[in-house]
Structure 1
Amino acid sequence: MHAPQIELHGFNNLTKTLSFNMYDICYTKTPQEREAYIKYIDEQYSADRLTGILSTVTDIIGAHILNIAQQDYEPQGASVTILVSEGPVGEASIESFSESPGPIPTSVVGQLDKSHITVHTYPEYHPTDDISSFRADIDVSTCGEISPLKALNYLIHSFDTDIMTIDYRVRGFTRDITGHKLFIDHDINSIQNYIPQDIQDLYEMIDVNVYQENIFHTKCKLRAFDLDNYLFGYTKEKLSRAEQDDITKKLKIEMDEIFYGKNITRY
């Protein structure tokens, strides 16, 4: 059962912001491997491809693109910013308000205004431990009925992700027809409810939620570890058992540091 929609006085003035941060980790033993990995990332997540991903997000949240600014940087990385305007006006779907995963993708009707979608990428590497990583930060900010959380399912499917950090916040207020303030217009207990169960099963998850402030935070780290998925251009059969163990330790420490947000004594 869904709560009945509340009739508002004027336009929905709530600002809903989804911040999706993903990390991909890779072992790159030589400078040549590192350079090849960063080149691969820049090709896979070029400004053109990122623009395509964000354009689909725009469709999912029912908006129209007003302007696109995109840039591939030297020596690495890319950024895209899309300004979007109000989508088709009409009665919003009940699904827009449900605490459930969004499409990947189909069109969802909503009402938006003064909204934007941005992405920035950050390929980088450790100075001594042969670890390279790729981070993408995506922000989807909407002022309207549909929550940008409906784009989360699609975003997760658009990236190869070892670790995800997801933040959601609703700011401001809107009013119903009696003048009563509404500081949030949809039910939410956890960001996890917007992630399909088969994806949840793949990750360890931690929630930190401040319900009285409408602030929600979820961190996710892959449960399974297969070293072959973290070697660039070869498989673990080419390594000795001692090398496999050493590389696995380095990778797991790197992932734990990102997941828990603190440095860990390495050796």
Structure 2
Amino acid sequence: MELTHQNLIELHGFNNLTKSLSFNMYDICYTRTREEREAYLQYIDKEYSGGRLQKILKDVAEIIGAHVLNVAAQDFDPQGASVTMLVSEGPVTNAPSEHFEESPGPLPDSIIMKLDKSHITVHTYPEFHPDEGISTFRADIDVSTCGEISPLKALHYLIRSFETDVMTIDYRVRGFTRDKTGHKLFIDHEINSIQNYIPEDLGELFDMIDVNVYQENIFHTKCKLRAFDINNYLFGYTKDKLNPDELIEITERLKLEMDEIFYGKNIVQ
């Protein structure tokens, strides 16, 4: 049984459904030499340092209306960073009824939502191919909440906070809460697709595939950037520095890397 703004149900005690959003983004780059690879990793470490990631997560906490209790941030050697944030609930009394609708969430300058207690984490994984051609940066972000409003409301801001070529997004509602008669509620809002929480202007940039298990309240969306401009994947130079054969080879390798991440398997050519 679902709880929507059209069918409000009086609960027995606290709404203790757990809603978990996992957002994985991938940024891909072609690095011809060891020097280019090291320069790319240095750029990524600076662009997505522990301090920058902490700022992003604080904005997420503001969007979901949570109060930050504790933050642990760490930059790793030789590369990568992690931030973990514990937050507590905020008031829900003034939240508008449309917060149950499937729609993109606000950006930090237009906050209207409030959520219950949650935790937010981010971990980064810069890595490179053994032949020093392809370098891939991955960021994993998890937003887990207990309460009325889905952490999917933070997805809009998260996508805009990272330059991403491929995204995988998972959302799941766990546990149950009860109405005043003791009847179990395994989800408290309607949801058809994670895609409905991605603004139209962003959605148009990606090819997207859903893999949903509605009866288990599990939702999964894969996204891959549609447009391909090789200049966006070359570090420190442009395609006019490549000969025609190099241009074809590098383009094929970059597209293969994106396809393998998108489909989650190695592709034999």
* TM-based fold match above 0.5: yes
Residues 178-221 of structure 1 show CA distances to partners (whole Å, capped at 9, x for unaligned) of: 22111000000000000011111111111000000000000000
User: What's the offset of the Cα at 1:112?
Assistant: 0.6
Matched, 1:39 2:42: yes
Alignment partner, residue 85 of structure 1: 88
Alignment partner, residue 147 of structure 1: 150
Residues 237-266 of structure 1 show CA distances to partners (whole Å, capped at 9, x for unaligned) of: 111111111000000111111000101124
Q: Which aligned pairs between 1:150-165 and structure 2 lie closer than 5 A? A: 150-165=153-168
Matched, 1:182 2:185: yes
User: What's the offset of the Cα at 1:158?
Assistant: 0.2
Alignment partner, residue 74 of structure 1: 77
Tell me, which stretches of 5 or more residues in structure 2 are unaligned? none
User: What's the offset of the Cα at 1:3?
Assistant: 2.5
CA contact (8 A) 2:37 2:132 kept: no
Matched, 1:119 2:94: no
In 2 relative to 1, CA 154–58 (structure 1 residues): closer, same or farther, beyond 3 Å? same
Please point out which of 246, 251, 266 is paired with 2:254: 251
Matched, 1:263 2:266: yes
CA contact (8 A) 1:87 1:109 kept: no
SS class of match (1:154): helix
Percent identical: 73
Mean Cα deviation higher: 91-100 or 227-236: 91-100
Tell me, which stretches of 5 or more residues in structure 1 are unaligned? none
Residues 74-116 of structure 1 show CA distances to partners (whole Å, capped at 9, x for unaligned) of: 0000000000001124143223211010012232332412x20
The 2-side partners of 1:34 and 1:216 are apart by 35
SS class of match (1:87): coil
SS class of match (1:209): coil
Root-mean-square deviation over aligned CA pairs: 1.3
Runs of at least 4 residues off by over 4 Å: none
Please point out which of 19, 28, 44 is paired with 1:16: 19
Matched, 1:98 2:101: yes
Aligned amino acid, residue 260 of structure 2: E
Aligned amino acid, residue 130 of structure 2: P
Alignment partner, residue 206 of structure 1: 209
User: What's the offset of the Cα at 1:129?
Assistant: 5.5
The 2-side partners of 1:51 and 1:91 are apart by 28
Aligned amino acid, residue 116 of structure 2: L
SS class of match (1:155): helix
The 1-side partners of 2:90 and 2:239 are apart by 50
Matched, 1:6 2:24: no
Please point out which of 109, 112, 118 is paired with 1:108: 112
Q: How many residues align?
A: 265
User: What's the offset of the Cα at 1:176?
Assistant: 1.4
CA contact (8 A) 1:167 1:216 kept: yes
TM-score (norm 1): 0.96
TM-score (norm 2): 0.96
SS class of match (1:218): strand
